[in-house]
Structure formats: structure tokens, C-alpha cells
Amino acid sequence: MKSLHASTNATAVTVSTCSRRCRGSAGSCITGGGWMSSELQGSGAVIVFDGVCVLCNGWVRFLLRHDVRGRYRFAAMQGETGRALLFAHGLDADDPASFLLVENGIAWTDTDAMMRVLSGLGGAWRLATLLRVLPRGMRDRLYRWFARNRYRVFGRYDACALPPPGQMARFLP
């Protein structure tokens, strides 16, 4: 089994090249058994985002402002960790149409991931789970349409934005 290993002083990621698109019965899949190192699994929830997308960077700034517990860490899909995580879950790192959250060895995608992130903020944000009344197929089709058109509607940066001062430790390479 061929594997990809990316490491720095801050984190290490090991993924298998034989993984397939993450599609469990609940919009999630288990990422154990050597897919990722224990260093990443033990570091809390990781959100993979498009580092050049204006909308995605706004989402990250929103989460940094509202995640008072510091629960989430971030990996741009253009970086080592983000690419490895996308690859491990069968998502195209060069053109992802899915949102990826990896938490406690389980990967969540699309609207299930977004609802999980928002409810993880606590308080009134937990109401986001009410979106589950809509069928996942409908939610995810709408999300993917939006994701495919995000550059056209919101624009894109020429390079990944730098993390805000004081937040660097929450960003993975």
C-alpha cells in the first residue's frame, strides 16, 4: 500500500492512496487505521478550506471570531495538510466541490460538515442542525452549485491570505 507522508514540526499527516470518496450513511467516514497519524487526530477538529477563495476566507474569519473555545484548526487546500486530507477522503485538491471537516477520526463533507461546524460553536448556532429537515441530496446539490460558482460570484485572491495576528497556531501547513 503506497502512502503519502507530509510532516513539519507542527504536525504530521499520513494518508493511504487507496482511499475513495468519503460517503458514509451519515455524510461521514471513519479515518482510522493508518490513514492519519495520531498527531493530527489528537489535535482537534480540522477544517479544510480554499485559501484563495474570498468567500472561504470570510468563512474562516467568521469561525475565528465565533469559535471562542478554539475548537477548530484550519488547513488551506493549497497546503500540505489540506491536500493530504482532501486526497485521503477522495476529494480533488485542485478543484474541490466539497467542504471537509475532520473531527475525532471522522470526516464530514458538504452540508453535514457545515451544520456540524456551526453547531460546534454552541449557543444559537446549534439551530443550524434544523437544516437536517431538508433531504441531504437537496442540501448538497445546492451547496455544490454554490461551491462551483464561488469564484465567479465572490472572487478569488492571487495567493493564500495570511492568518490574522495571534491566530497562526490554529493554521496547519
Give DSSP secondary structure letters for 23-64. --TTSEEE--TTSS-HHHHTT-EEEEE-TTBHHHHHHHHHHH
Spell out the residues 6+ positions from residue 60 whose beta carbon is closer than 8 angstroms to its own: 47, 49, 74
How large is the average pLDDT for residues 18-43? 42
User: Over the stretch 93-145, which tens digit does the pLDDT of each residue have?
Assistant: 887 777 899 998 899 988 999 999 999 999 888 888 888 889 999 999 988 89
From CA 96, how far away is CA 86, in angstroms rounded? Answer: 8
pLDDT in tens, 51-69: 888 889 999 999 999 998 9
Q: How many whole angstroms from its chain centre is CA 43?
A: 14
pLDDT of residue 119: 92
> Over the chain, what is the mean pLDDT?
77
Instruction: Please give the pLDDT value at position 146.
Output: 87
Burial class (CB in 10 A: 0-12, 13-18, 19+), 137: exposed
Higher pLDDT among residues 126 and 2, named by residue: 126
Instruction: List % helix, strand, coil for the chain (3-state, nearest 5).
Output: 40, 20, 40
pLDDT at 27 over 50: no
Q: Is the pLDDT of residue 75 over 50?
A: yes
